Amino acid sequence: MSKSVSELPLSRNRLGTRRTLAVHRYGSPGARPKVYIQAGLHANEVPGMLVARHLLDRLDAADAAGAIQGEIVVVPIANPIGLEQFVLGEAVGRFALDGSGNFNRDFPDLTEAAAERLQGRLGAEAAANVPLVREALKAALAGIEPETPVAALRHALLGLAIDADVVLDLHCDSESLMHLYTGTELWPGAADLAAQLGARAVFLAEVSGGDPFDEACSAVWWKLRDRLGLGRDALGAACLATTVELRGRSDVSDELAREDSDNLFRFLVRRGVISGQAGPLPPARCEATPLAGVERIVAPLSGVVAYKAEIGDLVEPGTVVAEIVDPAAEHGDRARTPLRATTGGLFWSRSTRRVVAAGDIVGSTASPAPLPGRGPKLLTAR
């Protein structure tokens, strides 16, 4: 058996506190492919943590059978800081209460620091360049001294993942279908993962804005290539990093977690990380679309939300997906404000909130083409 479990201490803790990350490791350190999987970076998103537990059970059995071929690192609880944040009985796990922002933003961009270490050292062959880049990325990260507890958490997580071939960051949405976020260059390379998980939407962006965890691991490869003036033959995208959105926050059950963990396990077998038979790849349930094609339908005023569209519906331009209801309106004919999709596509996400304020996102649709006027920040921080 090759499994080990360690407690990775986090630095910059507040006086009288100590936080650690439980890190489960399988296989031989340095073996390829290396896969890194984490759950609960947004600490109030529970489905991934239960999926991780089921996956660990599967990996334990595979390890006992001597089936681990590569290296697998799993962090089932990636955010002990967020797990402590309860306000009046409600979990606040998406944003740090110390003002450090969204836990899945502002990961270090190692491009410039790694480029300085790599100047003049890379040749024309990717096979020789990739190990050098990985060492440069690790050295660049080691040169950063985190200043706050949240920065220390980001630093530790990135340190576990930065040299991986595959990175899976398990999240969930409010109410949504299974979907993925990944880099444009990583598609269709990630198509087997999407099909195996039964993803109903896949969103692509070269850079989505905000420096989320998956892009800190993957986008740095094409940023470095551009920075160093190399071609893809010399430096491809050697890390397939994906944010996996496991439906909605209330989709927490052993049945779903068992199904998702089984699909992740089959993906690992298909990628050669675990020996065995993965079985036939299920047919894809969607085409990938640009993240810039996502329309966020926003409430123009406060009120009670009455949804008219279900997630999974295909909507046309002008379709009423919800109404904002003012219970105290003087006349009934003025009590309802319709919210319409302006583009056609899949209605894939909606809010669990049923009372919203002006500016709140009520739902999202996926269009096959980029929408005009989308700025560089394509992700919502809400």
Q: What percent of the chain has pLDDT over 70?
A: 99
> For the segment 97-119, what is each residue's pLDDT rounded down to a tens digit?
999 999 999 999 999 999 999 99
**CATH number for the domain whose boundaries are 4-286:** 3.40.630.10
The residue extents of the domains of the chain are 4-286, 291-366
Q: Which pLDDT value is given to residue 6?
A: 97
CA quadruple 273, 277, 280, 281: dihedral, nearest 10: -10
User: CA-to-CA distance for 187 and 209, rounded, in angstroms?
Assistant: 19
With cut-offs at 50, 70 and 90, classify the pLDDT of residue 333: confident
In terms of phi and psi (left: phi > 0; alpha: psi -120 to 50; beta: otherwise), the region of 312 is left
Q: Is it true that the peptide bond before 188 is cis, omega within 30 degrees of 0?
A: yes
In degrees, to the nearest 5, what angle opens at C-alpha 16 toward C-alphas 13 and 17? 45
Collapsing DSSP to helix, strand or coil, 290 comes out as strand
**Amino acid symbol at 24:** H
What is the rounded CA–CA span in Å between residue 174 and residue 152? 27
**DSSP codes, 337-373:** EEEE-SS-EEEEEE-S-SEE-TT-EEEEEE-SSPPTT
pLDDT computed for residue 235 by the predictor: 96
Q: Under CATH, which number does the domain 291-366 receive?
A: 2.40.50.100
Question: What average pLDDT is seen over the chain?
Answer: 96
> Is it true that 4-286 and 291-366 share their CATH fold?
no
Query: Per residue in 69-107, pLDDT tens?
Result: 999 999 999 999 999 999 999 899 999 999 999 999 999
Does pLDDT of 301 surpass 60? Answer: yes
